[in-house]
Chain A
Amino acid sequence: MSDHAGGEHTGGEPAQRPTGVPHLSRGDFGLLILGLISRREMYGYEIVAELRATTQGAIDLPEGTVYPALRRLERDGIVEGHWVEVGAGAPRRRYYRLTLKGEHALADGREEWRQFKAAAESLLGPV
């Protein structure tokens, strides 16, 4: 990943900025998604709900924003999706999981954030 504000696989500013999180880029958002689905396979609705719950509402995106981000990650081979039948009357769900490339990207992203955090703390004190 090129820098903390935008990974090379997703770079650029987000189309719709999450509330309460200034300057969160597409790269950051993609990294957050990777962090979530590294725990277990998830589908879009679940990712949004989990993101909101885990961050206690600090990241509260327009829900549809997650799908372009997932498509970018899938296009770049970082995640892969597959359909799962749910039951009669309910639409199928598309679950996403990390690929090997995705695991490397997540590790790189974590390391970059760690370095950035250390740099920030050297200036601001513990954050």
Chain B
Amino acid sequence: MRPPTPAERLRSHVDRILDRASVRGGDREDLVEELYGHLWQRWQDGMTAGLSTDAAADAAISGFGEASRLGQDMTSAYHSRLYASTIGVLLPTVLGVDDKPYGYGRARALLFLTGLFAVVGGVVYLNAQTPFRLLVGAAAIAMAFCMTVLAYRAFARGQRWALVYVQVLGIGFVAEGVLEFLLKPVTISFLGIVSIFVLMAAFDPKLGSWVSASRRTGKVLGVVIAASVLLYSVPLAVVAMPDPTQASPADLSIMVRVDCTQTGGLVTSGTVTATIRWARTDFLPYGLRPAMSQTDELGASSTSILAFDPGPNGTPFPHNLEGGVVGTTFTLVDAETRRNADAGVTMKSWSAFFDVGAFYKGIDPGTIQANHTYVASFGFISAHSGGLPDDPVFRIRYDHQGRWGVQAYATCTQPGVGQPVTTPDPPTFPAP
């Protein structure tokens, strides 16, 4: 592709000015001729003064003034101040320009997609967050989104900081995509892929020349740009933030007792009883979403789990429900009301058997009441013909929506007290 002639460069500068102005069709034609005539004469005078054709064209363009400022000033010369400061600025951005450089569309597409994903993804994701995390995450996304919108508009006006923003954003998405792929090889970041194509153009000299007339990006603005891009990662980190509106392990006490029946020195049956009490419960435990429904599947991340774990000696609990003989009783009762929480009066919960031998109950934290005592009991009969060891260890663990947990170990002779544990639940046993 041949480089533009000096006359074409002069004409291009006129177009850049008027693309940034809101001027009626007939006036535009007059202005094109008048502004081009000025640049043309300055170019001619420069050559007469001894400059080369290119240097004279450069001098004419640089002496004429910054395209975006002149465009805005021209808009205000034709319209009211209100129009000039709002619609007159927005309109050229929306309509776009004809002489877009290589990469212009890609860069703006990345900005558009970033804004779109921020709104849609933010609403979907933050909807499920607890109140404090929602506020922090939403504030971060809102600020980052505003910066993206400003960059989208500024880039159309050829402002350098917007190109720097695109570059930083693209690098950030690629880095995030690579990290995500390394952690989960089945996940490919859409914005990461898009960013690769954008970055191929974002460092191209053609885009550099698009913004060359605007001011250089200083250190302060550079820091602001980097910080605004990092704001998009806040929602990912917000899950780990402590939320003062939510209960913590310190608010939950679990006491466990095991009553055993022994035959011939071996435990053949018994009951594990956990007494559970919350001093404080979550405010909006599922964020703005409705509470967990009965159709939710066990193991959903938003579900709290109460688990009864068998001892270390093989598989003590029978799994054959169809036999209907052993190990099938489980109750969860509100001790104050004496109502069976397991029936859904005060709690929604259900049970399931797994081959690992543990017994799980899904609990809806939204239905738990503070300062009520709940009693969960699990009756068991050993599947071993000879019975269990004389003092089998049981673990009772409460896992609060995957955020934190409290667990207790107990035997026939030793009751247990719940202790805070980290999540996710390590599948390890035996008892400490």
Binding site for B on A (CB under 8 A): 12, 15-16, 43-45, 48, 62-65, 67-69, 71-72, 75, 90-94
Contact, CB under 8 Å: B38 / A68: no
Q: Which of B69-77, B214-222, B417-425 contacts A (4 or more CB under 8 A)?
A: B69-77
CB-CB under 8 A from A45, the residues of chain B are 37-38, 41-42
* Chain A residue with the shortest CB-CB distance to B14: A64
Q: Judge whether B64 is part of the interface by a CB distance below 8 angstroms.
A: yes
Contact, CB under 8 Å: A62 / B63: yes
Which 5 interchain pairs have the tightest Cβ spacing?
A62-B65, A91-B37, A15-B73, A64-B65, A71-B77
CB-CB under 8 A from B368, the residues of chain A are none
CB-CB under 8 A from A12, the residues of chain B are 81
Q: Give complex CA distance A71, B21 in Å.
A: 13
CB-CB under 8 A from A93, the residues of chain B are 37
Q: Which of B26-34, B178-186, B252-260 contacts A (4 or more CB under 8 A)?
A: B26-34
Binding site for A on B (CB under 8 A): 17, 30-31, 33-38, 40-42, 63-66, 69-70, 72-74, 76-78, 81
Contact pick for A94, options B17, B30, B41, B74, CB 8 Å:
B30
Given contacts A91-B33, A94-B34, contact A63 B42 (CB under 8 A): yes
Q: Give complex CA distance A91, B14 in Å.
A: 14
Contact, CB under 8 Å: A68 / B37: no
Given contacts A72-B77, A75-B78, contact A65 B38 (CB under 8 A): no
Shortest distance from the beta carbon of B38 to any chain A beta carbon, whole Å: 5
Q: Give complex CA distance A94, B17 in Å.
A: 19
CB-CB under 8 A from B81, the residues of chain A are 12
Q: Is the interface of A mostly helix, strand, loop or mixed?
A: helix
Shortest distance from the beta carbon of B28 to any chain A beta carbon, whole Å: 12
CB-CB under 8 A from A64, the residues of chain B are 17, 35, 38, 64-65, 70
CB-CB under 8 A from A90, the residues of chain B are 37, 40-41
Contact pick for B74, options A43, A62, A71, CB 8 Å:
A71
Contact pick for A63, options B65, B69, B74, B76, CB 8 Å:
B65
Contact, CB under 8 Å: A68 / B63: no
* A15-B73, A45-B42, A91-B40 known, 8 other contacts, Cβ within 8 Å: A15-B70, A44-B38, A62-B66, A63-B64, A67-B70, A69-B77, A92-B33, A92-B37
CB-CB under 8 A from A43, the residues of chain B are 37
CB-CB under 8 A from A92, the residues of chain B are 33, 37
Shortest distance from the beta carbon of A6 to any chain B beta carbon, whole Å: 13
Contact, CB under 8 Å: A68 / B70: yes
* Chain B residue with the shortest CB-CB distance to A93: B37
